[in-house]
Structure formats: structure tokens, C-alpha cells
Structure 1
Amino acid sequence: MSNVVVLDNGGSSIKLGFGGDRDPIVIAPNCTAKPPSYSSKKTLISDQILAFQDPTSLSLRRPIDRGYLINPDLQREIWSHLFSSHLPSTFSPSLSSLLLVQPLFSLPSISLSTFELVFEDFGFQSLNISNSASLVHLYEASHRPYSVISKTQCSLVVDSGFSFTHCVPVFQNFVLNYGVRRMDLGGKALTNYLKEIVSFRSVNVMDETLIMDDVKEKLCLVSLDVSRDLQIARKAGKENLFRCTYVLPDGVTHMKGFVKDPDEARRYLSLPDEGPAPPPKPQDVDDIEVTEKPEDRRKIDLNKNEFGLTNERFLVPEMLFHPSDLGMNQAGLAECIVRSINACHPHLHPVLIILTGGNTLFPRFAERLERELRPLVPDDFRVKITSQAE
């Protein structure tokens, strides 16, 4: 067993393992949850939330806000639970070192709270604080010894996670701080936006954070042509390739939400990458009742705790590329990348872009980002984007 403990302390999830292992021991929510008062008085800690039977209306408390630690006492409780539950009984912090992954530009007061947690509360032997950008760059360079990134030792890491999105230039495994650009937009904002849309159109889900996180991860996608896809989303019946249904937990037959028809949710894959929306099929008004199947009429039934999604599926991730459309005074992701690169020396401009973070897992994310970047960079530059395997 390695004496180096690796702890990726994210705003949404926390990953715990030992140095040298391929996979973490546990990936769990970095929060606690309180069930409704009528169901239970017990507070659920981290991975206990995943095992809880009924995820509806859980009240969440997170130790991290906007990427930074604001509640050390709550973080201590979560770490203590995970250490005691998932690390071997022979594990001793006093004989181990801790590699802690934290966001860039942490305030001194926050760093002091972290030091107190690590050394005074848990008694680790030593501490190394790193950031995801340096680790991602090092990982890519070491696993591709003959690639461009390994030869140039230069990359731009786009880390889009729960609390924010960072564009980080890295040279010889050192972050160039003056080139870092931040968007105060992450997975939390996307989930909240999705909750507002669904609550306005279908059913009130403003208190269902965990369920709507699941909806976002399973059904949301990045559009390659927003205007075309909006036309398709306005169509009726099967011609709307984005229409799908999500079933909420009912507390009797199923405790977890699920996608009603996975094949229906994947119909958008038949769309070409480019081109106008396919024309609607001609159909007489008198034939609608004959051609429509009875099960299609029952696709969305609010009495069964179901709701349908159409253009919400791609409009929610669209926030990352055009936050100004929603009144946010921020540049989009492509412009943020260009600003980050332009802040560096011209010799470092031809960099490889590496995507990491949960938001980059949306389908077609890399393809859309490449299309957004192409008009913003010189014609003789080749835009090359790579994504993390996980």
C-alpha cells in the first residue's frame, strides 16, 4: 500500500485513493444531505447519499462554494467519514503524505483552514497541494511520449467543473498564472437553469437537485447548429428528434428517476453534423388521429410524475458558449480560451487544448468548441482538442 493519499476535493464530488493506483478507491458527493423531516432525522454524509433509497427533496450542504472551501468543519466531517469507511484499518495519517487537488488562486485564509484540517485535525506527515491543470498536463505528456504535448511541454487545459471553468496555460508542467482566465459558470449553474426551465414548463423540481443533476448528465447535449436544432425542436411527434421523457421517482414502484425510452433519447444522433433541418413530412389534418399511436398520446403524463424535454437538452449547455444570451456579463468559452492564449508569449500560442471536468463530457462538446474557435484563430493554426478518458 502506498503511503501517499490522493484527494481530489471538488465542489460536486470527491475522489479518494492511493498514489500509484489506476483508479480511485471511492468517488462520492462532497456534501451532506438532510432528508425531509417527516421521513428521517439522520444526516447523510457523502457516499451515504448514493445508497439512500429516496433521493427526493434532500436538503444539501456543501463545504465548497464557487470552488473554494468555506466550511472547514463540514469538510472535516466528510473526510473523516470517507477515511474511516474506505481506507484500510492499517492506514495511519501520521505515516502518510497527502496530495490534495485544489483550484487555482486560493485565498490565504482558505489555505490556512486547509493546513489546519490536514495537520492538526488528521495529523498527516506532509502535504502537497496541486491543481488539476498541472496534473492533467503531466498525465497527457507521460502517456503520450511521442505526441506534440510531450515534445513541446506546452498545453492549454480547459477545466470546466461544478463551480467554474478555468482556461489554464501550462508550460513544462508549470501554470502560467498571468494567462489563466476564469468563467464563473459551471455544472451548478447549468443544473439550476435546467430546474428553472422544467419547473416553468412542466412540474416543480426546484428542490430536486440530485434528480436534475441526473437529468442533465443523461439527457443534455451540445448542439452543433443551434438555429437548425431549434427548428427541429419545434416540430411535433416523431419529427422532433430531441423529444424525450424523464420519469421522476414515485416512492412506490421506483425510487430513482430514469429515462423512459433510451432509444428515443438517442434519436438526435441521426442528425448530420451540418446542413439545414430536414423538411417536415406532409400530413393531412384529418389523418393525424389515424396515424398517431395511442402510446404516443400518453408520452407525457404529469399525473405519473413525468416530464418531457425538447430544446432544453441543448439550450442548457449552450450557456457555456454564449452566457451573454442569458444576461450574464461574461465571455463565452471560445473567447475565454483565445484571451488566455493571447496573454502568453507568441511562441506558446500553438498549443494543444486539453479538456477536463464534468461539463466537457456532454456529447459533441469538443466538436462544438472546435467550431467556435476556428473563426477566432489564425488560418494557419490547426485547432486540435483532446479530451480526458474519464
Structure 2
Amino acid sequence: MGNTVILDNGASMIKVNTVDYEEPRVIPNAIIRGRTDRRNYVGDQVEQCTDFSSLYYRLPFERGFLTNWDVERTIWNRVFDNVLQTEPKESRLLITEPCFNLANIQEAYDQMIFEEYEFASCYRTIAPELCTFNDVALLFGDRPGSIPDCALIVDSGYSFTHIVPFFKGRPVSKAIRRINVGGKLLTNQLKEIVSFRYYDMMEETHIINQVKEECCYVSQDVYGDLDICKKPYQKNSIVQEYVLPDYINTYRGHVRPKQTRQAAMSRQQQDAEQILTMNNERFMIPEILMHPSDIGIQQAGLAEAITQSVNACEPEMHGLLYSNIVLVGGNTLFEGYCERITNDLQMMVPSEYDVRVAQPPSPTDYAWAGGQRFVALSSKSDLQKKFVQRREYLEYGSEICRRKFGTL
């Protein structure tokens, strides 16, 4: 058996590498077409792009499910042939899929992996389950290596946010909760607000996503921050000016230091820079995660959904779940995200429970790291039991995958 490829196949980003490496390669899970050069950039080729205005994205995922296999095949070809330079026939594959994945899509996964790429063996699971193979106790300052009986993974990614409780390493299916809010919705919402208030940027997904990542934060006091936003510019500690790239002199936007505003105005706006003023948008966009009803999504916010998930488990598990909450996914990178969830939970959870919320240093790579640890700590016989061999698939079809991998 050759190497083991760990592929965390996210709807926005692919985290992939062989198990021998310490960190994954992070690659856009998209084919991106440039406006000026009319070139298609597949996955990591987007690094060669010099003009990110009005990019056209072709995504394999739609509403959180892998539906466009032609696009995904092209991206995987690029990953296996050029990025990893690995031979699938001599490798085993550990791959993630979405929670509540549809049966026909699961069969398409198996067909693509075993028939198209001919991997020697495969294990397909959800990203939150891989997270539990990490040393979760270390995040809370507990004794390293101690494995908690219960853990609750909050995975807030591109398409959805999932709350997944685990008992002895297995997800509690009846208690999994999904919020239909992810990074894509937040970016689209910011595009609409900016286009309504300032410039028409409905086609500028890449730029607005950068603005979101650099300017937005999770407020600890929404009404207090809204009051600050009403103050004059010099007394407003929240407002920021984001300098948009022109793709001639600058290729990436940046937040302009506030004290330079008067100097910039006196120099004719520094050669007519295009400025995007970010005021209450900075915290009201991530606030959708906490209150989806603000934009008409009739679902619970993050803290409330966590309590619903815990309450759906057996009563004796509640205390352990509340004391082992791990935040992962791209939205975890918002400043103040962990603190806000902790504060909101402490107001909702009965006082006899100890609420502990932690996020790993690299929350977007945590599932990949868990997969690496799972392979490294498993014996050869354990891997043999977990992974489906290609000869088994050719004999029994996707039925053997359903039996070995299980379904939520």
C-alpha cells in the first residue's frame, strides 16, 4: 500500500495532503474564470491570477451538496496530478462528505473514487467526526491524551453551520442540528448591502469576501456598538475605511489607518482611491449567525441551536457536552466569535453546568489534522476494518460502503 491521502473536501476550500506532511495544502474548490484574460483557473491556479475583479466561479457544490461532478473531477485531477503528484491506484483515500449527505450522492462519491480514480481503498466520513480524533482535551488545558466521552463540534463553514454532538466517538444522529447560514450567505448579504449603500459590487465576490474577512467581527454588545456607529467620524471607534484594489497599482485591498484620513483628503484622496466605508456592517453581517431571523431565516441562532442539540441527547450527557464544545470552520475566524458564543450560552445553560468553549489555533484545518492523527494512531488491522478495499467495492458495490461507513 502506498501513501494515505487525506482530502477534506469543503464546499469552498479543499484541504488536502498525504499523511506524511504536517500541514495540508489549501486549494479553492472552484474553477474561476478571469474577466480580462478569459482564462480558466482550476483550484490552486488562481494564485496566478492578477485581476480579481468580476471573477466568474464554477462551484461543484450547490446548497452544501456535491452536484457538479464535471467541475469536481477537473479540480481533483489538478489536485492528484499536479499538487500532490500521487498515484491513486497505489494510495488509500480518507475523504470527508457533508452531514446528511444524500444516498445517491454517496454512491456517486464511491463510483468516482473506486471506478474513475481506482483508489486502493477509501474511508468516507464527516468532517466533525475527524475533529474528534484530535487531542480535544489539550484545547481546554486538560491532561493531554485524555479522550472525553462526549464532545460537541460546531462546524460553521461555507454552506451551513452544523452542531454535532459525539458520544464515545460516534455522532448522536438525532441531536445534530443544522443552521442554513454559512460564509457564502454572509458574503452575499454584504454584497447586497454594499451595493445598495455605496457601489454596485454584486459581481465582486472575491473582493467582498476579502472585505468580510478583514473588517467584520462578532459584537459582544450589538446595541452598544450601534450607538457608537451613530457618532461623528472622529468619535466613532468602529468605522473603518477599506481601500479597494485597482489591479493596476494595488492587487489587494486594505484597511486605511484612521488617523491618515485628513492627510489623504488633503492629497486629493490619494490619487482618487476608491474607499468603502464599513460601519455597522462590520458586526451586523456576522450577527446573522447569532440571529438568522434578522434576514428572514426562521431558525435558531448558534447558541440556541447548541442548547437544542444538547437537550436532544440523554440527560446524563448534558454536562459533558457543555464542557467540551469545539468551534471549527472558516466563520470561527471572526474576531469575538468564541467569546460571544460562550457569553450567550452562559445565559441560557442551567447554572449547574460548566460551559467551556474552545477553538483550535487553525480551525479550518482541524478536520484534516484529525484525519492525519487517526491514520497515524491506527494499527494496520484497524485501518483494514475502517477502509473499504477496491476489491470489496467491485464485488459488493456501494452496499459495502454503507455498511462500513454507516449513515447519519
TM-score range relative to shorter protein: 0.7 to 0.9
Partner in structure 2 of residue 247 of structure 1: 243
Residue 247 of structure 1 and its aligned partner are, at CA, apart by: 1.7
> CA 1:238/1:93 → structure 2, altered by over 3 Å: closer, same or farther?
same
Please identify, of 322-331 and 224-233, the stretch whose mean Cα deviation from structure 2 is larger: 322-331
Of 327, 333, 349 in structure 2, the residue corresponding to residue 361 of structure 1 is 333
Task: Measure, in 1, the Cα distance between the counterparts of 2:344 and 2:145.
Answer: 22
Task: Measure, in 1, the Cα distance between the counterparts of 2:226 and 2:26.
Answer: 36
Partner in structure 2 of residue 343 of structure 1: 312
Partner in structure 1 of residue 285 of structure 2: 316
Alignment of 1:148-187 (within 5 A): 150-187=146-183
Task: Measure, in 1, the Cα distance between the counterparts of 2:268 and 2:226.
Answer: 21
Partner in structure 2 of residue 334 of structure 1: 303
Maintained 8 Å contact 1:168/1:181: yes
Aligned length: 358
In structure 1, what residue type is equivalent to 2:283? F
RMSD of aligned alpha carbons: 2.3
Partner in structure 1 of residue 7 of structure 2: 7
Maintained 8 Å contact 1:141/1:147: no
Task: Measure, in 2, the Cα distance between the counterparts of 1:257 and 1:209.
Answer: 13
Task: Measure, in 1, the Cα distance between the counterparts of 2:348 and 2:137.
Answer: 30
> CA 1:162/1:32 → structure 2, altered by over 3 Å: closer, same or farther?
same
Residue 147 of structure 1 and its aligned partner are, at CA, apart by: 4.2
Residue 296 of structure 1 and its aligned partner are, at CA, apart by: 6.0
In structure 2, what residue type is equivalent to 1:65? E
Task: Measure, in 2, the Cα distance between the counterparts of 1:124 and 1:319.
Answer: 41
CA offsets per residue over residues 273-303 of structure 1, 9 Å max, x none? Answer: xxxxxxxxxxxxxxxxxxx945467898995
> CA 1:244/1:298 → structure 2, altered by over 3 Å: closer, same or farther?
farther
Partner in structure 1 of residue 404 of structure 2: none
In structure 2, what residue type is equivalent to 1:233? C
> CA 1:315/1:161 → structure 2, altered by over 3 Å: closer, same or farther?
same
Task: Measure, in 1, the Cα distance between the counterparts of 2:350 and 2:259.
Answer: 40
Please state whether the residue corresponding to 2:251 is helix, strand or coil: coil
Maintained 8 Å contact 1:203/1:302: no
- The answer to whether the aligner puts 1:60 opposite 2:32 as a matched pair is no
CA offsets per residue over residues 162-209 of structure 1, 9 Å max, x none? Answer: 000000001111111111000011000000111111111111111111
Maintained 8 Å contact 1:93/1:124: yes
Q: By percentage of residues, which structure has more helix?
A: 2
Of 94, 111, 116 in structure 2, the residue corresponding to residue 116 of structure 1 is 111
In structure 2, what residue type is equivalent to 1:208? E
CA offsets per residue over residues 291-336 of structure 1, 9 Å max, x none? Answer: x945467898995322110110000000000111222111111110
Partner in structure 2 of residue 18 of structure 1: 18
Partner in structure 2 of residue 387 of structure 1: 359
Partner in structure 1 of residue 99 of structure 2: 104
Residue 218 of structure 1 and its aligned partner are, at CA, apart by: 0.9
Please identify, of 323-332 and 220-229, the stretch whose mean Cα deviation from structure 2 is larger: 323-332
- The answer to whether the aligner puts 1:197 opposite 2:196 as a matched pair is no
In structure 1, what residue type is equivalent to 2:105? I
Please state whether the residue corresponding to 1:138 is helix, strand or coil: coil
Percent sequence identity is 38
- The answer to whether the aligner puts 1:85 opposite 2:82 as a matched pair is yes
Of 306, 313, 335 in structure 1, the residue corresponding to residue 275 of structure 2 is 306
Task: Measure, in 1, the Cα distance between the counterparts of 2:42 and 2:180.
Answer: 27
In structure 2, what residue type is equivalent to 1:377? V
Task: Measure, in 2, the Cα distance between the counterparts of 1:225 and 1:298.
Answer: 37
Please identify, of 237-246 and 190-199, the stretch whose mean Cα deviation from structure 2 is larger: 237-246
In structure 2, what residue type is equivalent to 1:368? R
Alignment of 1:262-301 (within 5 A): 293-295=262-264
Consecutive unaligned residues in structure 2, runs of 5 or more = 363-408
Maintained 8 Å contact 1:244/1:264: no
In structure 1, what residue type is equivalent to 2:67? I
Maintained 8 Å contact 2:175/2:312: yes
Maintained 8 Å contact 2:2/2:92: no
In structure 2, what residue type is equivalent to 1:81? R
Maintained 8 Å contact 1:300/1:308: no
Q: TM-score, normalised by structure 2?
A: 0.83
In structure 2, what residue type is equivalent to 1:349? H
Maintained 8 Å contact 1:321/1:333: yes
Please state whether the residue corresponding to 2:98 is helix, strand or coil: coil
Residue 148 of structure 1 and its aligned partner are, at CA, apart by: 9.6
- The answer to whether the aligner puts 1:133 opposite 2:128 as a matched pair is yes
Q: TM-score, normalised by structure 1?
A: 0.86
Consecutive unaligned residues in structure 1, runs of 5 or more = 266-291
